[in-house]
Amino acid sequence: MRDSSSPNFYTFWSTRSSSLVVFCILVPLVLVSLVVLNSDSKTSSLWYTSFSGHPSEGVHPPLNSSALIYASGGGGGGGGGEGERRVFFEPIASFISPPLVSAPSPAPQPAAPVFEGSSPNNTRRARRKDTKLERLELGLARARAAIKEAVRNPNRTALVDKDYVPKGPVYRNAYAFHKSYLEMEKLFKVYVYQEGEPPIFHDGPCKSIYSTEGFFINSMDMESRLRTRDPDRAHVFFLPFSVVRMVQYIYPRDHHDMKPLRRTVLDYINVISGKYPYWNRSLGADHFMLSCHDWGPYASGGHPQLFFNSIRVLCNANTSEWFNASRDVTLPEMNVRSHVVKVGGPSASGRPILAFFAGGSHGPVRPLLLKHWKDRDGDVQVHEYLPKGVSYVDLMKKSKFCLCPSGYEVASPRIMEAIYYECVPVTINAHYVLPFSDVLNWKAFSVQVSVEDIPNLKNILMSISPRQYIRMQRRVRTVQRHFMINGPPRRFDLYHMLLHSIWLRRLNIRIHPQD
Ligand SMILES: *[C@@H]1O[C@H](CO)[C@@H](O)[C@H](O)[C@H]1NC(C)=O
Ligand SMILES: *[C@@H]1O[C@H](CO)[C@@H](O)[C@H](O)[C@H]1NC(C)=O
Ligand SMILES: *[C@@H]1O[C@H](CO)[C@@H](O)[C@H](O)[C@H]1NC(C)=O
Ligand SMILES: *[C@@H]1O[C@H](CO)[C@@H](O)[C@H](O)[C@H]1NC(C)=O
Ligand SMILES: *[C@@H]1O[C@H](CO)[C@@H](O)[C@H](O)[C@H]1NC(C)=O
Ligand SMILES: *[C@@H]1O[C@H](CO)[C@@H](O)[C@H](O)[C@H]1NC(C)=O
């Protein structure tokens, strides 16, 4: 059913006639991305866990489930093939982290010459498609094997790179990451569905707190190297909608009714799953969406398979709200106030303040921080509002540690800001998966403080020796590259780190051709 509250609805679905989209002008901008460790070591035991036709079965999300379309049994539909295995979960992301899972190598797919010479009948078309999928899976299996081999047998002279060679303790496994990155550049192809019109599709915000959403959507539309125009050659499929724009254009403000967000998502998936075979083939597991909006996870509930199977790239990476680090990707949040950010800051001796925070008292964490530290201690400067004339950026540059507590949502733009200004980030949150934690070893260049430890904050920071601090700050400089926003994107920057995270999630699964 069309939704009468969204008068522009019909125009969304026509294929765009040209690729002319206003691009975010982000030219010399700094990028920052965070990586979070995938602490879910359980994933290593998940080889051959399958998705069945009804991923929502038996699952009760901690959200208000009566409001979820999938819980009502309506909506998405199972896509047939009840109980049959289509997608196998094979966690490769753990290859990047040190404890290597000794898992069996995926069996090489046969080259599927089956249909050659067989009599033409109507299974032939489907078989030809399957062959293409088998070829893609074979390529992925080779990449997986190459990465595994790199983990087992690091040969540091074998990887030459004119731009950058990852090394040092900021990486969980620098060599495996590099190998995986190069494999991605060699092989990985993303298909962007052309359906949908700006402003809600193929465009997004480039300013303020949700800017990484627009930045990625626009960069993806301009991408040439890792993108394919032929969906049969794609390893993943991008659903190019902007939840921020949906909220701006189709969320009826006075009604507090968020359902149009989910209806829009559901309609879009119905369009692409009806028109192309790719969604049904994997039940959405090789598709991804991206959103920095607080309601991104809510909007993803518009289709059960999107919610449970697809790769969701989200700022609101709250593991208590079904964010799953082995399948989803954390999108770093960044508050873009101007198009040029001057990256850098003084060394430790130029930073007289021990720790700094300024921000409103909202969400579950900040009230505790303010209660314990606001106006208490000159070394730990915690402000709710900065006094007039005091510069936020200057204070970040004068502080050794920058506190990054969660707000309403788990993500904080302060993490990126701290990295830009070379202030060692102190993350204070629960249920948050730090950005790129499949690759980056956050403990090497940041401090994680639990909510319970807020009263001990000063002791914790004081116990870090000056030498240790100098090392950590140097490592912050090393990871800056991975959080940089460049127009056009450059290797190893935020945009490419996000694609690499998506690449790892795609390597995590194997899709079985159907016949
Ligand atoms: C859950 O959502 C439904 C529909 O939006 C609403 O009627 C109901 O009151 C909500 N229940 C709770 C416990 O919030
Ligand atoms: C995919 O599955 C849906 C739901 O079962 C169905 O309506 C749609 O026609 C299928 N798409 C294709 C291309 O077969
Ligand atoms: C069509 O192909 C299937 C699968 O290969 C085969 O079992 C079937 O006999 C073929 N039908 C005809 C009429 O050739
Ligand atoms: C490491 O790689 C280099 C360059 O590819 C090669 O010449 C060398 O034999 C390799 N060493 C080992 C131990 O595999
Ligand atoms: C995360 O996703 C994987 C793959 O879908 C699944 O096997 C695993 O059970 C999920 N973990 C949690 C905690 O839901
Ligand atoms: C994360 O999810 C949990 C469970 O819904 C919730 O209690 C918490 O407030 C959410 N946000 C943050 C910032 O922790």
For a substitution probing ligand 4, which of 156, 157, 179 has the most ligand atoms within 8 Å of its CB? 157
For a substitution probing ligand 3, which of 114, 115, 116, 121 has the most ligand atoms within 8 Å of its CB? 121
CATH tag, 348-484: 3.40.50.2000
Handedness of CA 195, 196, 201, 203 (dihedral sign): positive
Ligand 1: which residue has its CA nearest to atom 5?
Answer: 67
- Comparing 238 with 335, the larger pLDDT belongs to 238
Question: Which pLDDT does position 292 carry in this prediction?
Answer: 97
Does 117 score more than 50 pLDDT? no
Question: Which pLDDT does position 128 carry in this prediction?
Answer: 55
- Indicate whether residue 119 lines ligand 3 (CB < 6 A): yes
Question: Which pLDDT does position 24 carry in this prediction?
Answer: 58
**Mean pLDDT of the region 12-33:** 35
- Comparing 121 with 350, the larger pLDDT belongs to 350
Does 53 score more than 90 pLDDT? no
Ligand 4: which residue has its CA nearest to atom 3?
Answer: 158
For a substitution probing ligand 2, which of 266, 269, 275, 280 has the most ligand atoms within 8 Å of its CB? 280
Give the nearest ligand 1 atom to 64 CA: 1
Give the nearest ligand 6 atom to 430 CA: 14
Ligand 3: which residue has its CA nearest to atom 7?
Answer: 123
Ligand 1: which residue has its CA nearest to atom 12?
Answer: 64
Question: Which pLDDT does position 150 carry in this prediction?
Answer: 86
Instruction: Give the ligand whose atoms come closest to the C-alpha of residue 407.
Output: 6
- pLDDT tens track for 225-239: 999 999 999 999 999
Q: Where are the domains of the chain?
A: 23-336+496-512, 348-484
- Least-confidence region, from 13-27, 146-160, 346-360: 13-27
Question: Which pLDDT does position 487 carry in this prediction?
Answer: 81
For residue 259, what pLDDT band results from cuts at 50, 70 and 90? confident
In the 3-class helix/strand/coil scheme, how is 345-359 assigned residue by residue? CCCHHHCCEEEEEEC
Give the nearest ligand 6 atom to 62 CA: 5
Handedness of CA 23, 26, 28, 31 (dihedral sign): negative
- Indicate whether residue 340 lines ligand 4 (CB < 6 A): no
Cα 241 to ligand 1 centre (Å): 27
Cα 277 to ligand 2 centre (Å): 8
Give the nearest ligand 1 atom to 259 CA: 5
Cα 327 to ligand 5 centre (Å): 7
Ligand 6: which residue has its CA nearest to atom 11?
Answer: 409
For a substitution probing ligand 6, which of 60, 319, 321, 323 has the most ligand atoms within 8 Å of its CB? 321
Residue carrying the six token digits 């900021």: 170
Question: What is d(CA 314, CA 16) in angstroms, rounded to the nearest whole number?
Answer: 26
- Least-confidence region, from 31-45, 358-372, 427-441: 31-45
**Mean pLDDT of the region 106-123:** 36
Give the chain's mean pLDDT: 78
Residue 42 to residues 39, 86, 352, 434, 508, Cα–Cα distance (Å): 9, 22, 42, 18, 14
Edge-to-edge strand ranges of the sheet holding 380-383: 380-383, 353-358, 399-405, 424-428, 447-449
Does 20 score more than 90 pLDDT? no
- Indicate whether residue 50 lines ligand 4 (CB < 6 A): no
- Indicate whether residue 158 lines ligand 4 (CB < 6 A): yes
Does 76 score more than 80 pLDDT? no
Residue carrying the six token digits 């866990």: 49
Does 473 score more than 50 pLDDT? yes
Does 132 score more than 50 pLDDT? yes
Q: If you ran DSSP here, which 8-state letter would residue 210 be given?
A: B
For residue 96, what pLDDT band results from cuts at 50, 70 and 90? low
For a substitution probing ligand 1, which of 63, 64, 255 has the most ligand atoms within 8 Å of its CB? 64
Give the nearest ligand 6 atom to 365 CA: 13
Do 190 and 238 contact (CB within 8 A), yes or no?
A: yes
Residue carrying the six token digits 């102190």: 426
For residue 68, what pLDDT band results from cuts at 50, 70 and 90? very low
Give the nearest ligand 2 atom to 78 CA: 5
Does 69 score more than 70 pLDDT? no
Question: Which pLDDT does position 86 carry in this prediction?
Answer: 62
- Indicate whether residue 123 lines ligand 3 (CB < 6 A): yes
- pLDDT tens track for 401-449: 999 999 999 999 999 999 999 999 999 999 999 999 999 999 999 999 9
Does 291 score more than 50 pLDDT? yes
For residue 74, what pLDDT band results from cuts at 50, 70 and 90? very low
- Least-confidence region, from 15-29, 289-303, 454-468: 15-29
Instruction: Give the ligand whose atoms come closest to the C-alpha of residue 112.
Output: 3
For residue 257, what pLDDT band results from cuts at 50, 70 and 90? confident
Q: Look at the pTM and tell me if it is higher than 0.85.
A: no
Handedness of CA 312, 318, 323, 325 (dihedral sign): positive
Question: Which pLDDT does position 15 carry in this prediction?
Answer: 28
- Indicate whether residue 324 lines ligand 5 (CB < 6 A): yes
Cα 271 to ligand 3 centre (Å): 31
- Comparing 98 with 457, the larger pLDDT belongs to 457
Question: Which pLDDT does position 6 carry in this prediction?
Answer: 31
Does 52 score more than 70 pLDDT? no
For residue 93, what pLDDT band results from cuts at 50, 70 and 90? low
Question: What is d(CA 204, CA 396) in angstroms, rounded to the nearest whole number?
Answer: 29
Ligand 6: which residue has its CA nearest to atom 2?
Answer: 320
For residue 340, what pLDDT band results from cuts at 50, 70 and 90? confident
- Indicate whether residue 66 lines ligand 1 (CB < 6 A): yes
Do 240 and 202 contact (CB within 8 A), yes or no?
A: yes
